[in-house]
């Protein structure tokens, strides 16, 4: 569930209505699309090289710096680490500096407001996730104001609708907890409409919008709809962990445990064979696989999975984050052993 609030700008597919012209040449648009594809398939280093080439060509434009920051945030989120945090903030600061200078020089470019708004939003979301709720909220709100300005300048810039719509939905989702704030209201319905418009008509927003909408349907407990959207994304990006996590979690909530095991195993295999594994996602997958086996009454397999969660060596920081995983694994390990003992031979 932690993945639903992270919004990267992704590739446009064919057969959609006309969209506003980007401020770049078709060659640069093509580079952006390629870099976004690499991000979606978790080939982050390749994405960074693509976006660096844009920075080299356009050092005075915000676009390349923003996409580099977005890629680094996605990389840290995917790997469950803060290893590249310093570089992330460096790219964020570069994007803000360059973007603000562009606005000072040309105040009527909606795409500059769009990218600057996204930059502040990404910074705010990362700060909030890292425990800085107040500065995170301030930056997210600042980003929202720039995005709203981009739409004010060009109402057909539907990519901006995606982040605005997400903000409206999730603010409304937690309205009962923060309704004492004077500027907060429940605009979930409007937010959903904006997300759907962005998916249908945005230049870069279809697949991140699909992922975002799927998590919202998951949150609304409309699991059949959520899984159909995640499945469509997985058909486009068959090995994307962004969609595999959605398929795995939703299948689990629907009690489709065989399917859930298959998706968690795919994620686990990609983690183990990958270049970076700090143990967090591995524990998440093994715990869920163990729970699936438990509910299927396959207690021997469940015991094996829970045992691997508990025996995996990780550093102190990851171990602290995995406390709930360890507790759940211990509880169900005992239940599995008891179930075997109580089963008549």
CA dist., res. 271 & res. 276, Å (int): 7
Report the candidate in 2, 3, 6, 1 with the shortest Cα–Cα distance to residue 162. 6
Structural domain spans, the chain: 255-345
CA dist., res. 32 & res. 53, Å (int): 10
Contacts for 309 with CB less than 8 Å, ≥ 6 apart = 283, 286, 287, 290, 325, 326, 329
Residues 281, 79 contacting (CB under 8 angstroms): yes
Residues 293, 302 contacting (CB under 8 angstroms): yes
Predicted local confidence at residue 183, as pLDDT: 53
Predicted local confidence at residue 288, as pLDDT: 98
Predicted local confidence at residue 114, as pLDDT: 96
User: Which tens digit of pLDDT belongs to each residue from 281-306?
Assistant: 999 999 999 999 999 999 999 999 99
**Tokens 């997300």 sit on residue:** 195
What the block records as the tokens of 194 is 């904006």
CATH placement of domain 255-345:
1.25.40
Predicted local confidence at residue 185, as pLDDT: 65
Instruction: State the pTM of this model.
Output: 0.87
**Stretches in the chain below the pLDDT threshold 50:** 1-20, 180
Predicted local confidence at residue 33, as pLDDT: 85
Predicted local confidence at residue 71, as pLDDT: 96
Instruction: Identify the sign of the CA torsion 145, 149, 152, 154.
Output: negative
Predicted local confidence at residue 11, as pLDDT: 30
What the block records as the tokens of 41 is 């398939």
Predicted local confidence at residue 198, as pLDDT: 93
CA dist., res. 264 & res. 250, Å (int): 11
């Amino acid at each position: 569930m932690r993945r639903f609030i992270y919004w990267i700008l992704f590739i446009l597919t064919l057969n959609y209505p006309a969209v506003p012209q980007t401020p770049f040449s078709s060659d640069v648009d093509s580079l952006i699309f390629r870099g976004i594809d690499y991000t979606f398939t978790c080939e982050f280093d390749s994405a960074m090289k693509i976006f660096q080439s844009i920075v080299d060509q356009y050092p005075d434009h915000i676009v390349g710096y923003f996409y580099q920051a977005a890629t680094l945030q996605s990389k840290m989120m995917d790997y469950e680490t803060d290893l590249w945090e310093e570089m992330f903030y460096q790219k964020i600061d570069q994007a803000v500096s360059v973007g603000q200078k562009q606005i000072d020089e040309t105040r009527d470019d909606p795409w500059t407001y769009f990218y600057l708004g996204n930059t502040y939003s990404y910074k705010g979301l990362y700060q909030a996730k890292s425990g800085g709720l107040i500065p995170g909220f301030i930056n997210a709100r600042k980003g929202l104001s720039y995005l709203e300005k981009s739409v004010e300048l060009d109402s057909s810039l539907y990519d901006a609708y995606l982040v605005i719509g997400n903000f409206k939905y999730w603010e409304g989702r937690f309205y009962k907890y923060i309704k004492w704030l004077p500027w907060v209201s429940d605009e979930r319905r409007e937010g959903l409409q904006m997300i759907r418009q962005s998916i249908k008509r945005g230049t870069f927003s279809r697949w991140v919008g699909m992922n975002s909408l799927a998590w919202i349907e998951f949150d609304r407990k409309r699991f059949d709809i959520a899984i159909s959207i995640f499945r469509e994304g997985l058909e486009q990006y068959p090995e994307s962990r962004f969609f595999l996590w959605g398929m795995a979690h939703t299948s689990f909530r629907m009690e489709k445990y065989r399917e859930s095991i298959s998706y968690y195993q795919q994620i686990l295999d990609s983690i183990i064979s990958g270049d970076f594994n700090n143990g967090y996602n591995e524990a998440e997958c093994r715990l869920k696989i163990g729970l699936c086996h438990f509910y299927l009454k396959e207690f021997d397999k469940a015991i094996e999975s829970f045992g691997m969660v508990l025996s995996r060596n990780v550093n102190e920081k990851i171990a602290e984050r995995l406390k709930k995983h360890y507790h759940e694994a211990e509880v169900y390990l005992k239940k599995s052993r008891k179930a075997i003992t109580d089963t008549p031979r």
